[in-house]
Amino acid sequence: MKYKRILLTGVISLVTLLNSFLVLAVPDEIYLFRHSENLAGKNPDLSDAGKLRANHLVTLLKKYKKVHIYSSNYKRTLQSAKPLSEHFNEQISTYDARELPAFKDELLKLNGVVIVIGHSNTTPRLAALLSNETITPMSESEFSRYFLLSKSVNQNTNEYSVAEHKMNF
């Protein structure tokens, strides 16, 4: 009977520890990119310039050993994420760009580094949702601007500070 009680106490402690780990599991950094340059038409492929830019993303992020990669389910975003997927040997998870609040909640369950490839209208909105900051919209011709969201100084919140960057490419 004594051993059953010790075993039960151990199991309860392990479950509590795992639950607390999951509560604390939030990404250290989140990169938000707009897809690279694309051809014209409905659900177009990347242009040659877009393929070069997509390959350049690997150069920006190769310092990491492991990342989570997300893309909306369009050719241009999936093709923008493909070089990252191949470099890191990670699958691309798709998300519904029309459901950004739910996607935000999904992202906040991850840890490590997260990369999201989206669109000119959704990428700034997702940055605003994650940071609670006002983000300037992107124009249709803007492909080099991206956002790096870092965990806030107050580690007890799920808020991120956002920094805007331009790809030197």
DSSP notation for 117-149: EE-TTHHHHHHHHHH-S--PPPPTT--SEEEEE
pLDDT of 19 over the 90 cut: no
**Confidence band of 5 (pLDDT split at 50, 70, 90):** low
Among residues of the chain, what percentage have pLDDT more than 70? 82
Indicate the average pLDDT of the chain.
88
The average pLDDT across 150-163 equals 75
pLDDT of 101 over the 90 cut: yes
Q: Which helix (H) or strand (E) holds 29?
A: strand 27-34
Whole-number Å distance between alpha carbons of 71 and 119: 10
* Strand ranges of the sheet holding 145-151, from the earlier edge strand across to the other edge: 92-95, 68-72, 112-118, 27-34, 145-151, 160-166
Among residues of the chain, what percentage have pLDDT more than 90? 78
Tell me what pLDDT residue 158 has: 66
Per-residue pLDDT reduced to its tens digit, 108-128:
999 999 999 999 999 999 999
Architecture of domain 26-166: 3-Layer(aba) Sandwich (3.40)
The average pLDDT across 87-104 equals 97
Helices (H), the chain: 2-24, 48-61, 75-88, 100-107, 122-131
Backbone angles phi, psi at 77, to 5 degrees: -80, -45
pLDDT of 9 over the 80 cut: no
Per-residue pLDDT reduced to its tens digit, 48-85:
999 999 999 999 999 999 999 999 999 999 999 999 99
Residue indicated by tokens 């999904």: 106
Q: Give the three-class secondary structure for 152.
A: coil
DSSP secondary structure letter of residue 46: B
pTM: 0.84
